[in-house]
């Protein structure tokens, strides 16, 4: 399946990922420069993405614990999510996200 990632410099990477696991893991495996310092333990916000508004209903909104971490980000939007908390599934084929500057490794 395909995920479209916009990087902070506005360049776009289209990556192919498999269903199952987290979006953060899939992006790392595909070579997207995502910091993801806690490795998916939801202890930081360094896998922060903004979900394209057209996709937010399919992806779902952040839960309370996730929102608490995102509150520390200067780049949080109403469409912010931690990619470690998004499960990659077939229904998300074509998903568009923007890697936020606080999650960019580069």
User: What CATH number does the domain containing 91 carry?
Assistant: 3.10.20.30
Residue with tokens 């490795």: 39
Q: How much is the pLDDT for 104?
A: 97
The total of structural domains in the chain comes to 1
What is the rounded (10 degree) CA torsion for 104, 2, 29, 24? Answer: 50
Q: Range of 41's domain?
A: 2-103
Q: How confident is the model at residue 106 (pLDDT cuts 50, 70, 90)?
A: confident
CB 101 within 8 A of CB 45: no
CB 44 within 8 A of CB 69: yes
Mean pLDDT of 8-16: 97
Span 23-56, pLDDT tens digits: 999 999 999 999 999 999 999 999 999 999 999 9
Residue 60 has pLDDT above 90, yes or no: yes
Task: Give the rounded percent of residues in the chain with a pLDDT score beyond 70.
Answer: 100
Q: pTM for the whole thing? A: 0.96
DSSP state of 19: S
């Amino acid at each position: 399946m395909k995920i479209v990632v916009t990087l902070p410099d506005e360049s776009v990477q289209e990556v192919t990922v498999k269903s199952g696991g987290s979006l953060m893991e899939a992006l790392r495996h595909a070579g997207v420069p995502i910091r993801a310092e806690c490795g998916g333990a939801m202890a930081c916000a360094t896998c922060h993405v903004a979900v394209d508004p057209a996709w937010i209903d399919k992806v779902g909104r952040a839960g309370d614990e996730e929102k608490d971490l995102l509150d520390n980000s200067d780049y949080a939007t109403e469409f912010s999510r931690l990619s470690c908390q998004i499960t990659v599934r077939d229904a998300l084929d074509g998903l568009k996200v923007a890697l936020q500057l606080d999650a960019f490794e580069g």
